Amino acid sequence: LTDAQTKVVREILRDQKSKYSMNRLVQGDVGSGKTIVAIIAMFNVIKNGYQASLMVPTEILANQHYAETSKILNGFKVEIELLTGRPSLKEKRRIKERIATGEPIIVIGTHALIQEDVDFTNLGLVVTDEQHRFGVEQRNKLINKGRRPDVLVMT
């Protein structure tokens, strides 16, 4: 990690320990390392028994984040799911049922995350990438699926 990433990660981990919900913006150029910061924040939530979501505007970006997150967290026994419009109904149902159990998992997806039938029961962190591509209502819809989850927005 760079010095800037280390500083931001420390601040996020401190915020996540607070009794108040985090609402943080991480800003940087493409390739500046925002994703690794988000992955560390999501890992921290998972190891503390909560669920984390990462919402992105496109399936291509969702697949990229899924691949990168899976690669980085390989060996840590972290469960990661990908929820987009692409999977079969059977696969979507399986993922949604898993989300509803409240088990600590990372769910990476598109607008599919804000559908009515996606029921997070233990959501501790909501990460939104390219937040400018979503409306306030869309972002709030995901946030409101949790009970005062921490929020991390990347742009």
Q: Flag whether pLDDT at 140 surpasses 90.
A: no
| pLDDT tens-digit series, residues 9-59 | 999 999 999 999 999 999 988 878 899 999 999 999 999 999 999 999 999
Q: Flag whether pLDDT at 144 surpasses 80.
A: yes
Q: Flag whether pLDDT at 70 surpasses 80.
A: yes
What pLDDT score was predicted for residue 130? 79
**Cα separation, 62 vs 77, whole angstroms:** 21
CA 101 to the chain's CA centroid: 17
**Cα separation, 113 vs 148, whole angstroms:** 17
What pLDDT score was predicted for residue 96? 97
Tokens of 46: 């998972």
**Cα separation, 155 vs 129, whole angstroms:** 6
Phi, psi of 81 (to 5 degrees): -120, 155
Task: Please give the C-alpha separations between residue 154 and each of 95, 121, 127, in angstroms, as whole numbers.
Answer: 25, 24, 8
| Fold annotation for 43-154 | Rossmann fold (3.40.50)
What pLDDT score was predicted for residue 87? 81
Question: In a 3-state reduction of DSSP, which class is residue 67?
Answer: helix
What pLDDT score was predicted for residue 135? 67
What pLDDT score was predicted for residue 152? 97
What pLDDT score was predicted for residue 28? 83
132: confidence class by pLDDT, cuts 50, 70, 90:
low
Mean pLDDT of 113-125: 95
138: confidence class by pLDDT, cuts 50, 70, 90:
confident
